[in-house]
Amino acid sequence: MELGPAGSGGREPGRLREGLRVYRLVAGAWIRSTMAYRASFVMTAFGNFASTALDFVAILLMFTRVDGLAGWSLPDVAFLYGLSATSFGLADLAVGSVEGLGRRVRDGTLDLLFLRPAPVLAQLAADRFALRRLGRITQGLLVLGWALAAVDVAWTPLKVLLMPVMVVSGGVIFGAVFVGGSAFQFAAQDASEVQNAFTYGGVTLLQYPPTVFARELVRGVTFVLPLAFVDWVPASYVLGRPLPLDLPAWTAFLPPLVAAVCCALAGLAWRAGVRSYRSTGS
């Protein structure tokens, strides 16, 4: 993943490593400071757990009145939910802080990141590293664990292998959405809510079966903003269901590739954003 801003020696091979190094440094400092107030950490992490679990509560409430949703049982939907929530939780933990970009442009504190000998994106992503976001990951994993025990799947080595690949690729895809959305905030600093539509909206969308939604919407999140590869496409394969849009089975193994393409595009958007910021100062 390209962590470097434009025009500052981006071709150096060590930039990615330098970005990760600085990311670890800054995130580490925040983790240490969080752990200094352990009780407060436990409470905020629990708050994060409870508030992000609301979506699953809504699903449970629905299933008190029906046995299936668009042909999917509760364990199947829980499987989707667990995958989506865990992937998103990982992205939110790792790079969720970038959504504060618009505020930093407005109050002028973004400039400070340009003064340090480190990639701006790495500094921004690690800023205020919020360990409480483990709450979302935890509830996502709990639901996923229950779903794995409850779903009726004929496991093959390939399907087992696909599980971690799915979660990690999904996290990277959501991470790219976070970064791309922040790059958009260079152009419209007050429009951070637009980003919410794609991040938080995306994770909500993917918690329900693709068969619930209109075909055009499914097409959009498959071919335009390829969120479908976070769980819909690979999870349908694992569950032995027809893939959305009648995609062939091999597309279930595309998530890593899709994630790589998303990263490249987000990187380009970020570079363009930084370049315009450095030429306009706003």
- Which residues of this chain interact with other proteins, rule CB under 8 A? 5, 7-9, 22, 25-26, 29-30, 32-33, 43-44, 47, 50-51, 54, 57-58, 61-62, 64-70, 107-109, 111-112, 114-119, 127-128, 188-194, 196-198, 201, 204-205, 208-209, 211-214, 217, 278-281
| Complete DSSP assignment for 222-268 | IIIS-GGGTTHHHHHHHTTPPPGGG--GGGGG-HHHHHHHHHHHHHH
How far apart are CB 109 and other proteins at their closest, in Å? 6
Quick one: 46 or 223, whose CB is closer to other proteins?
46
Residue type present at position 56: F
Phi, psi of 115, rounded to the nearest 5 degrees: -85, -10
Cα 247 to Cα 38, 72, 200, distances in angstroms: 48, 18, 26
Residue 5 makes CB contacts below 8 A (sequence gap 6+) with: 114, 119, 120, 121, 270, 271, 274
Residue 3 near residue 119 (C-beta atoms within 8 A): yes
Quick one: 137 or 203, whose CB is closer to other proteins?
203
246 dihedral zone (left: phi>0; alpha: psi -120 to 50; beta): left
How far apart are CB 20 and other proteins at their closest, in Å? 13
Quick one: 66 or 154, whose CB is closer to other proteins?
66
Residue type present at position 57: V
Quick one: 128 or 240, whose CB is closer to other proteins?
128
- How many other β-carbons are positioned within 10 Å of the β-carbon of residue 33? 12
Quick one: 3 or 238, whose CB is closer to other proteins?
3
Phi, psi of 247, rounded to the nearest 5 degrees: -65, 150
CA nearest neighbour of 213 among 85, 99, 80:
80
Quick one: 9 or 13, whose CB is closer to other proteins?
9
Residue 53 near residue 101 (C-beta atoms within 8 A): no
How far apart are CB 78 and other proteins at their closest, in Å? 15
How far apart are CB 47 and other proteins at their closest, in Å? 4
How far apart are CB 260 and other proteins at their closest, in Å? 25
Residue 133 near residue 92 (C-beta atoms within 8 A): yes
How far apart are CB 26 and other proteins at their closest, in Å? 7
How far apart are CB 116 and other proteins at their closest, in Å? 6
Quick one: 116 or 158, whose CB is closer to other proteins?
116
Quick one: 26 or 259, whose CB is closer to other proteins?
26
CA nearest neighbour of 240 among 151, 169, 166, 174:
151
How far apart are CB 221 and other proteins at their closest, in Å? 11
Residue type present at position 148: L
